[in-house]
Structure 1
Amino acid sequence: MTDPVVARSRKGATRLVHASPLASSDTEWRYGYRVTEPGRTALDLATNLPFAEAVVSLDSALRDPQEHGPVVPGSDEADKTVLTLDQLDEASRRRGAIRAHRRFGTVRSFVDGRSGSPGESLSRVVLNERGWPPPVLQQPFVDKWGLIGYADFWWPQFGVIGEFDGYVKYSQGNYLKGAAPADAVVAEKRREDRLRALPEVRTVVRWMWSDVTRAERLDGLLAAAGVRKAR
């Protein structure tokens, strides 16, 4: 919580109260509660959370669920308010000088709404920390039959596509879009076959949560696929 009246922040058993000024434009009413608006909320997350958690949160806030196809009506994604970097920057200007300004700048320069999931966002953080070259995000690929799809990660200099596979991709309705899990697996296999057949694609490498949380495993997968570290 943020309280513009108290002199210092305090942490209780059930809540953390930040002593911080709030302009009238920093807040709005949602579901009967006064809350910070999206830009101010994102600013607070960027300056208070650890880097990886801040990136995951802000990538999600910036992500437009409509960008790569329709969303399931009535889902959380369908009702989402998409944050823009302009809103984030405006919230920063209203807030003025803050002790965590450098931290905010680091997060601000790294976040990217093209990351398609929390797993992809965390993967980007780990790739950066481990010295891997930055990939192109959501690169579209086409063949003679049309659009194949968007690759999570693409290293054109190595001809390598990277794909993060979370369990929800084959289990939750907003990812399945009405298909059965088995059909989704078959469709993904056919998609990968089409990608591998492209002359610019040398291979496709996949990883899961367990590979991201144990970074040495992700290192091994990328090295085996032919990606070379930037440093």
Structure 2
Amino acid sequence: MNAWEIELIAARGDREQRAAAREAARGRFRRVRAGIYVPADALAGGSAQDLHLIGMRALALASDRPLVFSHWSSAVAHDRATLGNRFGRVHVTFSAPGLRSFDRVAGHVFALQDCEVEEVHGLLVTTIGRTVVDIAGAGTFEEGVVTADSALAGGLTRDRLDHAVDLAGPRRAWRSIAEVVAFADGGGKSAGESVSRVTMVRRLGLHPVLQHPLFDRRGRIGDTDFFFPDEEVAGEFDGLVKYLDPRYAPMGAGKKAYDEKVREDRGRRVTRGWARWGWAEGRDARLLGSILASAGVRVSRLVR
């Protein structure tokens, strides 16, 4: 589904609202917000991000004044990675506390300059740099790093990110923001890789090379997510999205799994060790440390 293109049905007046409510009771419509509906069958297969984006569009349609979507909502609009479930409420930044009068809206009160706001498919959202700053200040370190890595990987330059920090101005969470920005690296290609790197660096004291190219006599094998040059060990984060999302597996999960096996077989011949892990291990220092040690990485830091 394309959440930007799904039709929003605005029921104006009592008669239209009653008719829409009847269609919803029959299962033909899905109520998104008071007076705003979508065809129920259009939501099939939608992700949490898709549904959140539809909620943003519905809120903008229902509002009697322009709204600036920010934080996790802006990250969704920019198609940047996020961590955790922050999609229960739409995130909007207001200039004053008294303006926060919407249902199911997480209102944030911060000053915004015109250059920190842009339009994406008709919605006003904070720029990606400002979005990173806001998430880094309001979320956990991991959440901030995931979106910051994704923004840098998507084309945001380090200079523009630093400029966004300066534009946002001082706030209570400035130290958290500075730590996230300093740690961020565009080599993180997925949320799972970013979380794994946080665990490696902050919990295990490891500093792998990101997106390291591997070659054999046949040519380039590909880039491995992590590489430990001293031990010549490759590490790969494996999430389900790699196999189930058509963007990464256009020929299907089976073909993707086969291609990954061929790639790993070639990679193992030019490395001294190969490690794979998923979400549970990537967030658990003891589990990830054990996997890496078994592959040959020297893990010496005591996990707290």
Q: Pick the TM interval, shorter chain.
A: 0.7 to 0.9
Is 1:180 aligned with 2:270?
Answer: no
Alpha carbons of structure 1 residues 94 and 141: separation in structure 2 relative to 1, 3 Å: same
Higher relative contact order (CA 8 A, sep 6+): 1
Seq. identity, %: 40
> Among residues 153, 160, 178, which one is paired with 1:63 in the alignment?
153
The TM-score, its normalising length taken from structure 2, stands at 0.64
CA distance in 2, matches of 1:30, 1:208: 33
> Among residues 230, 238, 256, which one is paired with 1:165 in the alignment?
238
Aligned to 1:194: 266
The question of whether the paired residues in 1 share the 8 Å contact of 2:93 and 2:110 is answered with: yes
CA distance in 1, matches of 2:190, 2:122: 29
CA distance in 1, matches of 2:101, 2:134: 16
Alpha carbons of structure 1 residues 92 and 214: separation in structure 2 relative to 1, 3 Å: closer
The question of whether the paired residues in 2 share the 8 Å contact of 1:133 and 1:230 is answered with: no
> Among residues 285, 289, 294, which one is paired with 1:224 in the alignment?
294
Aligned to 1:33: 123
TM-superposed deviation, 1:11: 9.9
> Among residues 104, 112, 125, which one is paired with 2:198 in the alignment?
125
> Among residues 132, 135, 138, which one is paired with 1:42 in the alignment?
132
Is 1:4 aligned with 2:95?
Answer: yes
The TM-score, its normalising length taken from structure 1, stands at 0.83
Query: Which string of whole-angstrom CA distances, capped at 9 and with x for unpartnered residues, describes residues 169-212 of structure 1?
Result: 12221112x323222222211211211111xx111011111222
The question of whether the paired residues in 2 share the 8 Å contact of 1:151 and 1:161 is answered with: yes
CA distance in 1, matches of 2:287, 2:261: 23
Query: Which string of whole-angstrom CA distances, capped at 9 and with x for unpartnered residues, describes residues 65-109 of structure 1?
Result: xxxxxxxxxxxxxxxxx3222222112222222222211110011
CA distance in 2, matches of 1:32, 1:183: 38
Aligned to 2:20: none
Aligned to 1:86: 159
Aligned to 1:78: none
Q: Give the 4+ runs in structure 1 shifted more than 3 A.
A: 9-13
Give the aligned residue type for 1:228. Answer: R
CA distance in 1, matches of 2:119, 2:244: 34
Alpha carbons of structure 1 residues 100 and 230: separation in structure 2 relative to 1, 3 Å: farther
State how many pairs are aligned.
Answer: 210
Point out the structure with max Rg over C-alpha.
2
